[in-house]
Amino acid sequence: MSPASAEQWKAGECEADVDDGGEPIKVCDDGYHMAVFWNDGSFVNGACTEDGSYNVDYKGISKSDAIAWVKEFCGD
């Protein structure tokens, strides 16, 4: 599983952005794993899988929202 905080990702794997609600986020991507971190401590970590099942870790958002972030990243 990918790191649970943005600080644990390698330099160049994360960038600042905003979510659909205008909240600042940090989006991290190593090409296989992805993570999104919000300033309030919420996060989603996930990995793309060939069979479409998602190994998702999340906090502060719903499971369905967490899976939606990973699906969008993985291109499903």
Q: Is the pTM of this model over 0.85?
A: no
> What are the tens digits of pLDDT across the range 14-38?
999 999 999 999 999 888 889 999 9
24 by Cβ neighbours in 10 Å (0-12 / 13-18 / 19+) ranks as exposed
User: Residue-wise over 53-73: b if at least 16 C-beta within 10 A, else e?
Assistant: ebebebeeeeeeebbbbbeeb
8-state DSSP, 7: G
The residues spanned by each domain of the chain are: 6-74
